[in-house]
């Protein structure tokens, strides 16, 4: 019960990996707020079914007013904010193309959600964490930022920005006893995700652990960085990809 009565916001909590984080936090006693563009009600129900506490909030992380309303509603309901997991991303539905053919609107959408959204959520929780005298922010990047995968320059660049933003935030938030770290998961075979089996086999060959990565593989690292076990760790990047990238 490392998170007993801790207030945890998991953005994109209605999505696949966000759900896995949320269920794990709830199991350890946290009170969850799950902002998403889509309804996180099924995740809230799953948490309540296991005896936990959760709320879903309609929110667009790229919109400052929407983010502020979400954080204020969370604090009002639970009495504060302790932990933010910046997990929401324009990801599954990104349009892929060579960078010289990509539309400006498509590029800007990835930046608005994946970069501005991370900043806006941190900005909105800061006063509440300051009030508490401590806090934890975990920003979710991706292995693509290390690999430079072709044909989605906007997504790759946005996830690289998350790593740099984490470092800048860590420097600014140290005096407030707030830890900020990045987790970069590898390609994750989330529930129901369709992949070319041959491509997945080749991807697995590049790992130290030669198997597909699933949601649960990332959960422990995110919870560690959100817990008091990592209180002297900040500004760091932890890559969770079964050993594809060895930094």
Ligand X SMILES: NC(=O)c1ccc[n+]([C@@H]2O[C@H](COP(=O)([O-])OP(=O)(O)OC[C@H]3O[C@@H](n4cnc5c(N)ncnc54)[C@H](O)[C@@H]3O)[C@@H](O)[C@H]2O)c1
Q: Looking only at residues 56 through 115 of this chain, which bind ligand X when binding is defined by CB under 6 A? A: 59-62, 87-92, 113
Q: Which helix (H) or strand (E) holds 218?
A: helix 216-226
Contact between 185 and ligand X per CB under 6 A: yes
Given the complex with ligand X, which of 79 and 243 has the nearer CB atom? 243
State the nearest-atom distance from the C-beta of 215 to ligand X, in Å.
7
Q: With left for phi above 0 and alpha for psi between -120 and 50, is residue 186 left, alpha or beta?
A: beta
- Of 53 and 63, CB closest to ligand X: 63
Per-residue contact string for residues 132-151; x = within reach of ligand X by CB under 6 A: --------x-x---------
State phi, psi for 236 to the nearest 5 degrees: -95, 160
By the rule CB under 6 A, 160 interacts with ligand X: no
Tell which one of 157, 188, 221, 230 touches ligand X (CB under 6 A): 188
Interface with ligand X (CB under 6 A), residue from 6, 7, 14, 110: 14
Size of the site for ligand X (CB under 6 A): 29
The dihedrals phi and psi of 51, each to the nearest 5 degrees, come to: 90, 10
* Distant-in-sequence, close-in-space partners of 115: CB < 8 Å, separation ≥ 6: 158, 161, 162, 165
Q: Is 155 a catalytic residue?
A: yes
Helix axes 16-27, 41-49, angle to 10 degrees: 30
177-191 in b/e form (b: 16+ CB < 10 A) is: ebbbbbbbbbbbbee
The answer to whether 233 and 178 are in contact (CB under 8 A) is: no
Q: In the complex, what is the shortest distance from the CB of residue 49 to ligand X, in angstroms, rounded to a whole number?
A: 20
Nearest-approach distance from CB 218 to ligand X, in angstroms:
8
> Which residues are at the interface with ligand X (CB under 6 A)?
11-12, 14-18, 35-38, 59-62, 87-92, 113, 117, 140, 142, 185, 187-188, 190
């Amino acid at each position: 019960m490392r998170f007993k009565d801790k207030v945890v916001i998991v953005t994109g909590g209605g999505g696949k990996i966000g759900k896995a984080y949320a269920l794990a936090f709830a199991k350890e006693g946290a009170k969850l707020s799950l902002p998403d563009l889509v309804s996180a009600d099924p995740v809230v129900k799953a948490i309540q079914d296991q005896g936990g506490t959760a709320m879903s909030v309609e929110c667009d992380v790229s919109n400052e007013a929407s983010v502020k309303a979400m954080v204020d509603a969370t604090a009002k309901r639970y009495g504060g904010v302790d932990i933010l997991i910046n997990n929401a991303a324009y990801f599954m539905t990104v349009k892929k193309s060579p960078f010289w053919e990509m539309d400006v609107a498509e590029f800007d959408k990835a930046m608005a959600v994946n970069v501005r959204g991370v900043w806006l959520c941190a900005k909105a929780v800061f006063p509440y964490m300051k009030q508490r005298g401590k806090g934890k922010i975990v920003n979710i990047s991706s292995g693509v930022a290390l690999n430079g995968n072709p044909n989605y320059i906007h997504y790759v660049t946005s996830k690289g920005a998350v790593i740099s933003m984490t470092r800048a935030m860590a420097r600014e938030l140290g005096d407030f006893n707030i830890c900020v770290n990045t987790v970069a998961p590898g390609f994750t075979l989330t529930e129901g995700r369709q992949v070319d089996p041959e491509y997945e086999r080749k991807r697995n060959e590049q790992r130290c652990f030669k198997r597909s990565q699933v949601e649960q593989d990332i959960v422990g690292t995110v919870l560690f960085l959100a817990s008091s076990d990592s209180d002297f760790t900040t500004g760091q990047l932890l890559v969770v990809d079964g050993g594809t990238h060895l930094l």
